[in-house]
Chain A
Amino acid sequence: MMYDFFVDLFGNTVIAGIASGILMSLLPLFLFILPYALLAVLAERKVSAHMQDRLGPMRIGWHGWNQTIADIIKLIQKEDIVASDTDKPLFNFAPVLVFAGSYAAFAAIPFSSYYIGSEVDLGIFYIIAVTGLVVAGILMAGWASNNKYSLLGSMRSVAQIVSYEIPTMLVVLSLVMVSETMSLHTLSEMQTGYFWNWYIFGGPGFSLTKFLLIPSMLIGFIIIYISTLAEVNRVPFDIPEAESELVAGYHTEYSGMKFAMFFLAEYANMYAVSAIVAALFFGGYQSPVGYLGNLLGVEWLIPIEQFLWFAAKGLFFVFVQMWLRWTLPRLRVDQLMAVSWKYLIPIAFVNLIVIGFITLI
């Protein structure tokens, strides 16, 4: 793909490797995450407003379309305040780490059959590992801020993310058992064809196991959706940044672009987990009904269609996250722990064993 193109261009594998590496790593940021974040922030405000029978931003551009751009310009202009008692190196490093953690996850997400940042065989394993950096960044931010709200928020966040990683991993593990691969690209390729080949409908093939898997897969989907929702600190699991209790949680002391980085990381994370759910259960970039490119015989249209399908699936789950946010109240800390340890983990574990038996048949 990109690498081969550069090899042809430069005739030198080293330069081609570096050039394609840089380009491939920057593409998702500028081509996808930034425009997506702009859109998602606006969509969040619009969705919340309309769910409360309001209008939301209406002033800047048609129906407030340029509101986020104006906000970003404002954030860039803002003074970068660092309080005197903060631990400055950690304080400055934390937003970078949080953003790097959530951005690194995009490397292994297959946007289409022709574009994947890095085709790692351990794709899903890598994503789960690298998003662990976010925990460190959040704890760093809370601790370095030298502020009781920040510290409380970050401690809650760490407790939450660590405990919700377990059901996530159990569900991922059960899916890995069924598909016998950890590469998201291969996983998506396996779900090719029509929507009944998706793992939510038991995966590809037409056998008894497919039908036995459907209920387990549904349960698995619900569990992974709830636990990834908790991992990205969204309502109803937003106790780390609970506005009414903790001001803003771990980013209370941050202003200007550093705050914007936390904000961007949160929205990037929202898409990352939605993309993972889409790739695992909903066919990844595969179209549910076949491709227009195949129908017309235009081959270059297929990757574009795949990208659009993938973006649409991810954005739908992001929308559901917003929808839940404006529906449900926040959980208490003990309720949060109860949901994870008493409900999600045991069910995910039983589900794992059941799926294991079914795959043995």
Chain B
Amino acid sequence: MKEYFSNIYTALVTIFIGMKVTLKHLFVPSVTIQYPDVKPELPERERNRLYVNMDDCIGCDQCARACPVSCIQIETTKALPAEDLGKTSNGKKKALWVTGFTIDFSKCCYCQLCVFPCPTDCIYMTDVYEFSEYQRDDLIFDFVTLTPEERQQKRDNLAKFNAEKEAEKLKAAAESKPKIETEQKKDQPKE
């Protein structure tokens, strides 16, 4: 009988204790962040989408080699001797046109390993994390600042330059060759 009444007592008392707790929480400011309107403050070293500052890129390919998932593709074109590409912000001389620099963010694992080897600190993590796309191909980001025509022009320039050089070589070779031939010809009749 004593237990019966103590059961009733504890049941009622604990219900009221619980109700007190929930009522208190009714007036506690909520912890919800209204996401698209209000964005949470990210930690300082947050790793999100990569960005490449092409003004500083020297096309050394070190980031592409460091990438564990090979999501960085770099294509470089040699500059002509007459062209001056200027210097990077930390004083390195640029010698290559970067005609292709794509990062496939559908593959990227945000490990930041590409950031450390960069000699000019031109590749780094930003705080942008909203870049979802409907097509996977849309996640391949092209960072090159040159227009497609300019890139083609650079390639053509180099090809032309190389062809000219080759032609000059051939010409030089052709000029020196006949002499040998004539010498040989001269030699032959002697026998």
Binding site for B on A (CB under 8 A): 47, 49-55, 58, 222, 323-324, 326-328, 343, 347
Binding site for A on B (CB under 8 A): 7-8, 12, 15, 18-19, 21-23, 25-32, 34
- A55→B28 CA distance, assembly (Å): 11
Least distance between B2 CB and chain A CB atoms (Å)? 15
Q: Are A327 and B30 closer than 8 Å at their CB atoms?
A: no
Contact partners of B27 in chain A: CB under 8 A: 50
Least distance between B103 CB and chain A CB atoms (Å)? 34
- A274→B53 CA distance, assembly (Å): 67
- A328→B22 CA distance, assembly (Å): 10
Q: Are B30 and A323 closer than 8 Å at their CB atoms?
A: no
Q: Are A49 and B25 closer than 8 Å at their CB atoms?
A: no
Chain B residue nearest in CB terms to A320: B19
Contact residue among A50, A328, A347 (Cβ-Cβ distance under 8 Å from B30) = A50
Question: Known interface pairs A47-B26, A343-B8. Does A328 touch B18 (Cβ–Cβ under 8 Å)?
Answer: yes
Least distance between A328 CB and chain B CB atoms (Å)? 6
Q: Are A55 and B34 closer than 8 Å at their CB atoms?
A: yes
- A50→B27 CA distance, assembly (Å): 7
Q: Sample 7 A-B pairs with CB under 8 A, ordered by A number.
A: A50-B25, A50-B27, A52-B25, A53-B28, A55-B30, A222-B12, A323-B19
**Which of A52, A343, A347 neighbours the largest number of chain B CB atoms within 10 Å of its CB?**
A52
Contact residue among A53, A55, A328, A343 (Cβ-Cβ distance under 8 Å from B25) = A53
- A222→B15 CA distance, assembly (Å): 12
Closest 9 CB pairs of A and B: A55-B32, A327-B18, A327-B22, A51-B22, A55-B30, A50-B26, A53-B30, A51-B25, A327-B19
- A51→B29 CA distance, assembly (Å): 10
Least distance between A275 CB and chain B CB atoms (Å)? 22
Contact partners of B15 in chain A: CB under 8 A: 324, 327-328
Contact partners of A47 in chain B: CB under 8 A: 26
Question: Known interface pairs A327-B15, A328-B15, A343-B8. Does A54 touch B32 (Cβ–Cβ under 8 Å)?
Answer: yes
Q: Are A51 and B26 closer than 8 Å at their CB atoms?
A: yes
- A343→B19 CA distance, assembly (Å): 21
- A50→B32 CA distance, assembly (Å): 10
Contact residue among A55, A58, A323, A347 (Cβ-Cβ distance under 8 Å from B22) = A323
